[in-house]
Amino acid sequence: MHRLDVLSRGYRALLIGPYHQSWKDQLRMPLLQHAVAMRYGRPIEDVAIGMQHFDGSGLVVTRYSKAEIATAELEFKKLSKTVEGYARNIPGLTP
């Protein structure tokens, strides 16, 4: 995260830079919301995640539900197992 804003009602974690319009659909975004909430010991629903351009324009923010975050975590674990399976087939890559 590039910036964490403390708001009157919760927190806003931002990535700053150019972004694609479909950023909200990226697997990393609900995972980042969860990571920020856990890192700072705050309830997930109190943390919003967003993007903003370098010049300060284009601020867009969303908040993922607990169910959306849980779905993202399951998808990430599934992807991790797939990658691990491929890695095991590369000699010398894994112990």
pLDDT in tens, 73-92: 999 999 999 998 888 888 88
Whether the Cβ atoms of residue 4 and residue 13 lie closer than 8 Å to each other: yes
| 8 A C-beta contact, residue 9 and residue 45 | no
Q: Which residues of the chain are modeled with pLDDT < 50?
A: none
Select from 29, 35, 75 the least CA-distant residue to 83. 75
> What pLDDT is attached to residue 64?
98
Looking at residue 69, its pLDDT comes to 98
pLDDT value, residue 91: 85
* pTM score: 0.86
**Euclidean distance between CA atoms 17 and 59, whole angstroms:** 10
pLDDT of res. 45:
95
Give the Cα separation of 35 and 27 in Å (integer): 13
pLDDT at 93: 78
38 backbone dihedrals φ, ψ, rounded to 5°:
-70, -40
